[in-house]
Copies of this chain bind each other. A is one copy, B any other.
Amino acid sequence: MSVGQEIYALAEQLFPICRSITGDGVRRTLDILSEHVNLERHEVPTGTQVFDWTVPKEWNIRSARIRGPDGQTVVDFVDSNLHVVNYSTPFKGTLTLEELKPHIHTLPDQPQRIPYRTCYYAPTWGFCMAHDHLTRLPDGLYRVDIDTELKDGSLTYGEYLHRGQTDREFLLSAHICHPSLANDNCSGLALLALLARSLKAKHTRNSYHFLFAPGTIGSIAWLSRNEDRTHLIDHGLVLSCVGDAASPAYKRSRRGDAFIDRAMAHVLGREAGAKLMDFSPYGYDERQYCSPGFNLPVGMFQRSVHGTFPEYHTSADNLDFISPEHLEDSFRILTDVIDIVEENWTPLNLFPKGEPQLGKRGLYAAVGGQKSSGVTSMALLWVLNLADGQHSLLSMAERSNLPFKELAAAAILLSEYGLLTAAL
């Protein structure tokens, strides 16, 4: 099974669960992710102050349905967890169609799709359904039955730290609060879990910090509890919508010129149709990581840009909308970026006056014989020329417009031949 197929299979497992910003859906999701990565789980009690926010009551749902004038079920949570407005209060009652309608959310522009709606911080309830369905409902009395619970409990998140040689961290974060939406964000959760798994066997220079937390309140809670160690974060990415067919897209961190911004620009610069976007304070949890009190070097990676594609936050964001192929492509982009973070260094040319004679060392031959190493003469010449102790390999890639991989291979080859050393 390819890694893309594995990610897809994991996303499939996560898809049916009714997640929210708190509750058992998050816990069941973390259970499944834990089959791949050894998550540390945290429970933050209801009422805990996290910066300007307070952890809300925990929400769980057992069932919810509306029965029509004829006693037949009109909508049922069992069919789709999008049918119930997330965080709906418990309710039992009989209403006329007119009274019911303010509680029904539809998408008149996409009349066959169910929208995704939440009411986290407002004590109300509601249902979501296809607009075509709503317009067919006859007048009469409707029986509403929402069996949810709001109680003192906790907000749950999971994290995993892959320890490298240094404690400098790469933060990888995905929100875990959306119910049955495949791209947003079963795709991100599944990809990160399998990325974490793939690192387990590796000796890395950096540490990799994976965070699976509810959107906004979850990342704020995490920041609040980890404030004293955010200084360890050298790089970061928020992931969402990484499984659809659109070209990859990257939104820069608030800093705009952080190493992660440059590395992502380099990688996406070689992907057809890739988009690079400036930071804006709207989106996912990069909003919190990039708030002015933290200003962390955290960007956001996605394919279709949230809020701009018709399937966004509707029942059309289902398992057909994502594919193993595109999940694998996103996975590869992340590993390319991790390679840059891992393999970047600043070489110093030990023969800086004129070009060293590559021919007498068999390095032109070495090149000829090592096509598969991806080392070309141009890569050797660029590395030698820029190895003045002021250019990292990423800087060289930016200036030469050659792939980082190729320059990194050239630098290793030149080091093996005694032509380079590491700059201090």
Contact = CB atoms under 8 A, between A and B. Distances in A.
A293 B353 contact: yes
Contacts of A354: 50-53, 219-220, 223-224, 288, 291, 293-294
A400 interface: yes
Given A281-B382, A282-B381, A381-B282, A355 B388 contact: no
A149 to B, nearest CB: 22
Can you tell how many copies of this chain the complex includes?
A: 3
A385 B351 contact: no
Q: How large is the interface on A (under 10, 10 to 19, 20 to 34, 35 or more residues)?
A: 35 or more
B292 A386 contact: yes
A385 B296 CA distance: 12
Contact of A292 (B220, B378, B387): B387
Interface stretch (A26-34, A71-79, A322-330, A356-364): A356-364
Interface string A340-369: 000000000101111111011000000000
A388 B216 contact: no
Contact of A378 (B223, B282, B349, B386): B282
Given A51-B354, A281-B382, A288-B355, 13 more contacts: A51-B353, A53-B354, A121-B359, A224-B353, A280-B400, A281-B384, A287-B355, A290-B385, A291-B355, A291-B384, A293-B349, A294-B353, A294-B354
A312 B356 CA distance: 26
Contacts of A282: 377-378, 381
Nearest to A219: B354
Given A359-B121, A400-B280, A385 B353 contact: no
A386 B282 CA distance: 13
Interface in A249-307: 254, 280-282, 287-288, 290-295
A98 interface: no
Nearest to A287: B355
A227 interface: yes
9 tightest CB-CB pairs across the interface, nearest first? A293-B352, A293-B353, A281-B385, A292-B388, A220-B354, A281-B381, A52-B356, A292-B352, A288-B354
17 contacts: A50-B354, A51-B353, A53-B354, A121-B359, A280-B378, A280-B400, A282-B377, A287-B355, A288-B355, A291-B352, A291-B353, A291-B354, A291-B385, A293-B352, A293-B354, A294-B354, A295-B388
A221 to B, nearest CB: 9
B353 A223 contact: yes
Contact of A216 (B280, B293, B352, B355): B355
A179 B199 CA distance: 57
A71 to B, nearest CB: 38
Nearest to A283: B381
Contacts of A294: 353-354
Contacts of A382: 280-281
Contacts of A290: 385
A213 to B, nearest CB: 12
A345 to B, nearest CB: 16
Given A287-B355, A288-B355, A354-B53, A385 B223 contact: no
A290 B355 CA distance: 9
Interface in A368-382: 377-378, 381-382
A388 B281 CA distance: 14
Nearest to A378: B282
Query: Residue among A52, A216, A382 with the most chain B CB within 10 A?
Result: A52
Contacts of A227: 353
Contacts of A387: 292
